Amino acid sequence: MAQPQLAALPQNPPAHNALKTQQFLAINNMSIVPHPPYLPNLIPCDFFLFPKMKLKLKGRRFKTIQEKLNRTESFTRYSKRISRERLKHGKSAGVTV
């Protein structure tokens, strides 16, 4: 299987779900990194996961797209684990507003 050339993070507007966009992604072998499932009792990733991810990735350069995808997937696993642990102990997943 060919390695993906690019990872795109869909934001779910109609333009990203359009047939023409989907065809472009398929033709160009682009990998889609989906959003994590929405849980109403958790703070959105913008406030919880992304700041931590940006701190860990700051100043890093990746030689391949696959290396970048692997690192991003490790953060997804981390996010799920931390969210489960915090819920188990009755804590919010992030900052409560």
C-alpha to C-alpha distance for 22 and 19, rounded to whole angstroms: 5
* Domain 14-89 falls under CATH 3.30.930.10: no
Q: Which residue stretches of the chain are H helix?
A: 14-17, 19-27, 49-57, 65-88
Domains of the chain by residue range? 14-89
pTM, two decimals, is: 0.36
65-88 vs 49-57: helix crossing angle, rounded to 10: 140
Please write the tens of the pLDDT for every residue from 20-73. Answer: 888 888 888 876 666 656 655 555 556 666 777 788 778 888 888 888 888 878
Q: 5 exposed, middle or buried (CB, 10 Å; 0-12, 13-18, 19+)?
A: exposed
